[in-house]
Structure 1
Amino acid sequence: MVFDSFAEARKNGFLAMKKLKDSGKGVVGQFCTYTPLEIFMAADLVSVSLCSTSDETIPEAEKVLPANLCPLIKSSYGFAITDKCPYMYFSDLVVGETTCDGKVKMYELLGQTKNVHVLELPHRQTTPEAKALWRAEIVRLIERVEKDFGVAITDEMLKEAIRKRNMERRLLKEVYELSTMCPPPISGLRQLQILFGAQFKFDWQEKVEEIQNAIDSIKEAYENGERPIAEKAPRILITGCPMGGVTEKVVKVIEDAGAVVVAFENCTGAKQMDRQCREEGDPITNIADHYLNIGCSVMTPNPNRFELLYRLCDQFQVDGVVEMTLQACHTYAVESYTVKTFLKERNIPYLHLETDYGTSDIGQLSTRAGAFVEML
């Protein structure tokens, strides 16, 4: 199956990562969509997402961290201190960012055992001061990478990395835009497997070829009459916290209720794939501007999220929006009221689901998702 490679990418990537590390490749682990991957690509390093999506190590993390902290933070820290995450284990440098207070303090603890660099992310996007600070942070990260890995990163290297990342973003955007069709050619779970799994494929050329093959296979099956989704299935967009791993349960309960998830506005989906990085001009400024304009709830105000959200609702002809927030993710939890009001003014039905990395709430999630889909 075309999806199997992506569905198993995180697990299978462990061996690929070890081979790369054994061959002498430098590895950078990162947590957030705001981290500019072009810098690591320009330095010929391997980059990998370290956000953990399992409750397996949370009990260990809670020996140090408070129990009422975001599960993503606790899980990530737990995998780090137990050495149960090969990606964290193999990372020569771990890059964090000041998106939320919980992460910042976790990075402080993580720095006691790992080589950690924290990006100072401004929480405004349009002021000259915020833009200047963020550009300076990009320069500081470049200097850190050059120092730690003994490389010199030129403007030409950065421009080539921007070009390659733009190609990757275009292909992944093409994947999820297939679901603008009615009925969509794949389920939301299949779409998420590709979007989430792609970040654990470390050979860029092979990755873009696999994504293109997936696109071609999906189109061919559709043209041959394969219709895995019912034409009348309500079309759902998911917004909110990052998706993947255990949080796939939210997608499953929605689709088990008879709907189909056609789009993800989250970090895993359109939030990072929707726009291209400018290729002409100063590459450092282009990278800084591109990443600073990501519409995350940590930004205040946050117009870019709402512009994208409404555009996706229109483009994908959604019947309803489900917001998934992780427990104790305060910025998304607070902004959920604004999202609800924004969608209500546009007559778009909205459901807010709060969850964690456990499975004990699946029954409750199923009940609420089922009632929402039935209402549609």
Structure 2
Amino acid sequence: MADMFTVLKQIKETGKKVVGFYCVYAPQELVLAADALGFALCATKEEAIPDGEKTLPRNFCPLIKSSYGFAVTDKCPYFLYSDIIIGETTCDGKKKMFELMQSFKPVHVMKLPQTYLDETDKAYWLNEVRILKDVLEKELGSEITDEKLRAAIKVLNEERRLMQKLAECMKHDPVPMTGQDFLKLMWGRNFVLDRAEFAAQIKAVTQDMEEAIAKGEAAFPKGAKRILVTGVPTGVGSEKVIKIIEDCSAAVVYIENCSGMKQFVTLVDETKPPLAAIAEKYLATPCSCMSPNPIRLENLAKLLKEYRIDGVVDITWQGCHTYNVESRVVKDFLKQNGDTPFLQIETDYSQGDVEQIKTRVQAFLEMMA
């Protein structure tokens, strides 16, 4: 992290602009088309929470407390060197965080509609994307043309295809990579300086996995229980549940949440007008802030079959009410559609409940035997 302070400082001195964002609803194509660097800022480490709690309530979501703690202390180089932050109204907690943040950093908050199903809401969101385009052009001093947007769409669509191909390798039995390593690869995409280099790295990892599969090499023995993780964003530093699952000898073969594969499964339609196509892709993100949220359930149904899932673990951060409520929706859906074993784990970033979670996971896996 210390090196990134120096790297980003040097990059900023060349005149390059930096944009920070907290959610997969932020259209990264617009940032790339503005010739800026974009970085995801959602914090997943416990160390910044005490600083966040100096302002925010203690019973807030840990992701928000950690994010604000890093922002207000300038301990995150990506936030420190951002010229503007893209926020979004996914939850009341983040809305209030952005309100506080505006006192010390330029913040533009995109206002999400309540659903992705209604044509009126789709038109509303397209207008929000247009507004963001105007804001970025003004703040960054760069014209975002349709030509630049089409070029950015191609670059990011190719990244999505590469991540999809990488995820395909996890369908094999025995499983060639741990879920923890798979998470690190997806998490790394949030901090890319050179997109061509990142694409080459993913291609190389995929080739290595395909060669391992051909040789019969694997991270788990054949027949290991296959787990799909869903729920809240789970990044490096807050992956304790994934680690516990794999310490108990089960394989996390798919991470469905928005810090996992959710952001990669849908491409931007390259045949449509670019701004409209971008708006369409991002609004279709099946987040629990949408009500109703049928795409999440439809995607889960497909994934259960494609990845031959033995059990689903739904992670909920304490204070995340939308995912907590929707956990019941997911549980009922799985019960009614094949009765796939389901476990909800409500937790935070601390390590105090590790043994309790381990006991629950062990019982969950034994139930599948």
Shorter-chain TM-score: which interval? over 0.9
Distance in 1 between residues matched to 2:360 and 2:14, nearest whole Å: 50
Whether the 8 Å CA contact 2:51–2:69 is kept in 1: the answer is yes
Secondary structure of 1:24's counterpart equals coil
Partner of 1:180: 171
Whether the 8 Å CA contact 2:183–2:235 is kept in 1: the answer is yes
Q: How many angstroms does 1:201 deviate by?
A: 1.9
Partner of 1:323: 314
Secondary structure of 2:238's counterpart equals helix
Q: How many angstroms does 1:129 deviate by?
A: 1.6
Q: How high is the sequence identity, in percent, across the aligned residues?
A: 46
Deviations 1:288-347 (A, max 9, x none): 111001101000110111111111111100000000010000000000001000011121
Partner of 1:31: 22
Amino acid at match of 2:261: A
Amino acid at match of 1:356: D
Residue from 196, 204, 216 that aligns with 1:205: 196
Q: How many angstroms does 1:165 deviate by?
A: 0.6
Distance in 2 between residues matched to 1:165 and 1:14, nearest whole Å: 26
Residue from 350, 354, 362 that aligns with 1:370: 362
> Which deviates the most, 217-226 or 143-152?
217-226
Residue from 219, 224, 236 that aligns with 1:245: 236
Whether the 8 Å CA contact 1:46–1:202 is kept in 2: the answer is yes
Q: Residues 338 and 161 from structure 1, CA distance in 2 versus in 1: closer, same or farther, beyond 3 angstroms?
A: same
Partner of 2:150: 159
Amino acid at match of 1:170: R
Secondary structure of 1:245's counterpart equals coil
Partner of 2:39: 48
Whether the 8 Å CA contact 1:13–1:201 is kept in 2: the answer is no
Partner of 1:192: 183
Deviations 1:50-78 (A, max 9, x none): 10111212112112111111010011001
Secondary structure of 1:246's counterpart equals coil
Secondary structure of 1:324's counterpart equals strand
Distance in 1 between residues matched to 2:11 and 2:301, nearest whole Å: 41
Partner of 1:131: 122
Distance in 2 between residues matched to 1:14 and 1:322, nearest whole Å: 36
Secondary structure of 2:32's counterpart equals helix
Whether the 8 Å CA contact 2:183–2:236 is kept in 1: the answer is no
Deviations 1:2-21 (A, max 9, x none): xxxxxxxx776555433322
Whether the 8 Å CA contact 1:61–1:74 is kept in 2: the answer is yes
Whether the 8 Å CA contact 1:258–1:373 is kept in 2: the answer is no
Q: How many angstroms does 1:363 deviate by?
A: 0.9
Distance in 1 between residues matched to 2:68 and 2:219, nearest whole Å: 39
Distance in 1 between residues matched to 2:169 and 2:197, nearest whole Å: 21
Unaligned runs of 5+ in 2: none
Whether the 8 Å CA contact 2:184–2:236 is kept in 1: the answer is no
Deviations 1:249-291 (A, max 9, x none): 1111001111000001100222111111100121111001110
Amino acid at match of 2:288: S
Distance in 1 between residues matched to 2:62 and 2:53, nearest whole Å: 10
Q: How many angstroms does 1:126 deviate by?
A: 1.8
Partner of 1:6: none
Q: TM-score, normalised by structure 2?
A: 0.97
2:106 is the alignment partner of 1:106: no
Distance in 1 between residues matched to 2:271 and 2:208, nearest whole Å: 34
2:12 is the alignment partner of 1:17: no
Q: How many angstroms does 1:23 deviate by?
A: 2.4
Distance in 2 between residues matched to 1:96 and 1:258, nearest whole Å: 39
Whether the 8 Å CA contact 1:323–1:351 is kept in 2: the answer is yes
Residue from 333, 339, 345 that aligns with 1:353: 345
Q: Residues 11 and 247 from structure 1, CA distance in 2 versus in 1: closer, same or farther, beyond 3 angstroms?
A: farther
2:299 is the alignment partner of 1:308: yes
Amino acid at match of 1:357: Y
Deviations 1:146-203 (A, max 9, x none): 0011111111111111111100001011111210111111111111111111221221
Q: TM-score, normalised by structure 1?
A: 0.95
Distance in 1 between residues matched to 2:279 and 2:91, nearest whole Å: 19
Secondary structure of 2:286's counterpart equals coil
Whether the 8 Å CA contact 1:246–1:358 is kept in 2: the answer is no
Amino acid at match of 2:362: G
Secondary structure of 2:234's counterpart equals coil
Partner of 1:80: 71
Partner of 2:61: 70
Unaligned runs of 5+ in 1: 1-9
Partner of 2:219: 228
